[in-house]
Amino acid sequence: MTGSTAILKLKRTIPAVGVIATLIAVWWLIVRITHSAIFPTPWQVVTGTLELAANGTLWEDIAASLMRVAVGFLLAMSIAVPLGLWMGWVKGAFSTLNPIFQILRPISPIAWIPMAILWFGVGNASPIFLIFMASVFPMVVQTTAGVHTIEKRYLRAAENFGVSRSTLFRRVIIPAVLPQIIVGMRIGLGVAWLVVVAAEMIALRSGLGYLIIDSRNAGNRYDLVIGGMVIIGLIGLLLDGVMRLMEGLKIVRWRYAH
C-alpha cells in the first residue's frame, strides 16, 4: 500500500469514528444531566467489563457462547451443503423437499425455544439445536440456488470432455457453487450468533446471553448489560469479518469480481 492510499483509507474512517464518539459523548452527557442512578456512564461500562475480564467470568461466557455456535453451525453446515447440492442437482429431491423447507424457514428460531427445552432440557443441547435450526435453512437455500444458477455452457463443456462423475463434481459443480455456499455460511453464522444470545437468555446458566440477563436480575448491573451487548456486537463483527476473508479467496473471487 502506498502512503497516499493509506491516508485516503484513514480519511474514510474518520466519519465512522466520529459517529461512534458522538454517540458515546451524548450518552455520557445525558446520564450526567439526568443524574440517573441506574443507567451507567460509558466509563462505568468499561470498568465493569474490565472487572469481569479480570475475574475470568467474561472469558468463560464468551467461550461458552462461541462453543455452542461452533457446534451448531458446523453440524448445520455438514448437513446443509450436501443436502443443498443434492436438491440442486436432482429435480425430484427439490420438488419433494423444497416446500417443507419453505414453510419451516420463516419460523423464527426463537419460536423453537419451548420445543428445544422440551426435547433437550436446559443443557448445551438446546441452544445447539436452535443454532442448527437457525443456520441450516439459509445454507440449504443458498447451496441449492447455487447449483441452479450454474451456467449451462460450463456443464456443456464438462459433457464435451467426457469427464467422470467425480471430476464433474470436484472440478465443476462444487467450485461453481462455492461462492454461494460461502454467502449461505455468512448468513447462517450471522443468524446463529443472534440466536445463541437469545437462547442463553432464557434457558442457560452460562454464555453472553446469560451474562446480560443475570446482570440485570442480580442487582440491576446495567453497566454489565451494556458491556455484554457491546462484546456481542464486536464478536459478531469479527465472525462476519472471517467470512468476508473467505470471499477473498482466489478460487471464489471470479464470482464477486464484478
- Residue 174 CB, nearest approach to other proteins (Å): 9
- Residue 229 CB, nearest approach to other proteins (Å): 40
Specify the residue, 5 or 164, whose C-beta has the smaller distance to other proteins: 164
Max CA distance (Å), the chain: 77
Specify the residue, 43 or 161, whose C-beta has the smaller distance to other proteins: 161
- Residue 77 CB, nearest approach to other proteins (Å): 20
- Cα–Cα distance for residue pair 125/9, rounded to 1 Å: 44
Specify the residue, 173 or 189, whose C-beta has the smaller distance to other proteins: 173
Cα dihedral value 253, 148, 153, 244, nearest 10: 0
Contact residues toward other proteins (CB under 8 A) are 153-154, 156-164, 167, 171-172, 175-176, 178, 250-255, 257
- Residue 55 CB, nearest approach to other proteins (Å): 49
- Residue 177 CB, nearest approach to other proteins (Å): 10
CA 256 to chain CA centroid, nearest Å: 20
Is residue 128 a contact partner of residue 70, using CB atoms and an 8 Å limit? no
Is residue 147 a contact partner of residue 85, using CB atoms and an 8 Å limit? yes
Question: For residues 197-220, b (16+ Cβ closer than 10 Å) or e, as one string?
Answer: bbbbbbbbebbbbbbbbbbeeeee
Specify the residue, 156 or 205, whose C-beta has the smaller distance to other proteins: 156
Cα dihedral value 114, 120, 124, 126, nearest 10: -30
Specify the residue, 87 or 252, whose C-beta has the smaller distance to other proteins: 252
